[in-house]
């Protein structure tokens, strides 16, 4: 069983990014298919960590908390974040009427198209944890128990989906084995059958040839006695 990831114990923002990324790895079938694991996150350089989707999520949440404390409206916060991100080459303008959660989801999809393949509840889990962490950092009310319960539910849901996919894969594997068995018949048994049939054909041809020869003798010499008389006269 996988060790519980203690998001609340992240010592700084970079640690938070890494822990969230590890949590996603447990839910991201595409990442797992590419061989990416929690250990992969541990081996990433600082630059690579900054390029993770979780880095965008954490930095947006951080900026939101800072500006929100200063009394800046959500709409203005998102405009300022858009401006900051455009300087980094991510020039997208958010639609109106978003809150922190929906803005993060929109921004992740804009900057990381591959995230669209990730289950929405996984992103919700990451956002929920990030909000709890920054609330704790800013001495605000937190509900880690609720976040952990939600995360456990998400992980269970994703695990069930993975098991269902594996079960489907087994059916496919079984079908492939059956197809292979049929192919084996074609590549092995059928040639043997053709060989047997060929032998029978040659035996038939030989028999007919002998029979034809006997018929010719009978036609020319009238009988076996006629053949013997002809041979003795030579």
- Give the closest residue to 78 by CA, choosing from 50, 106, 53, 54: 106
Give, in degrees to the nearest 5, the angle at Cα 163 between 159 and 164: 115
Whether the CB-CB separation of 61 and 100 falls below 8 Å is answered with yes
- pLDDT tens per residue, range 115-144: 888 889 999 999 999 999 999 999 999 999
- Side-chain half-sphere of 145: how many Cα atoms within 13 Å? 1
- pLDDT tens per residue, range 130-184: 999 999 999 999 999 999 999 999 999 988 988 888 787 654 443 444 334 433 4
pLDDT for res 189: 36
Q: Which 3 state secondary structure label does DSSP give 21?
A: helix
């Amino acid at each position: 069983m996988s060790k519980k990831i203690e998001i609340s114990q992240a010592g700084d923002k970079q640690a938070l990014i890494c822990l969230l990324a590890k949590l996603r790895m447990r839910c991201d079938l595409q990442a797992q298919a590419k061989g990416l694991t929690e250990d992969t996150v541990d081996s990433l350089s600082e630059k690579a960590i900054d390029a993770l989707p979780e880095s965008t999520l954490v930095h947006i949440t951080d900026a939101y908390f800072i500006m929100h404390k200063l009394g800046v409206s959500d709409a203005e916060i998102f405009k300022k974040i858009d401006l900051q991100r455009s300087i980094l080459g991510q020039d997208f303008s958010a639609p109106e009427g978003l809150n922190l959660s929906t803005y993060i989801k929109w921004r992740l999809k804009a900057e990381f198209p591959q995230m669209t393949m990730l289950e929405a509840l996984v992103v919700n889990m990451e956002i929920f944890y990030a909000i709890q962490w920054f609330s704790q950092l800013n001495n605000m009310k937190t509900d880690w128990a609720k976040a952990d319960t939600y995360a456990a539910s998400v992980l269970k849901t994703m695990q069930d989906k993975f098991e269902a996919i594996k079960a489907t894969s087994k059916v496919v594997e079984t079908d492939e084995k059956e197809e292979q068995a049929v192919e084996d018949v074609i590549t092995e048994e059928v040639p043997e059958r053709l060989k047997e049939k060929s032998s029978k054909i040659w035996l038939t041809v030989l028999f007919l040839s002998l029979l034809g020869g006997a018929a010719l003798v009978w036609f020319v010499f009238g009988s076996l006695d006629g053949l013997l008389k002809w041979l003795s006269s030579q």
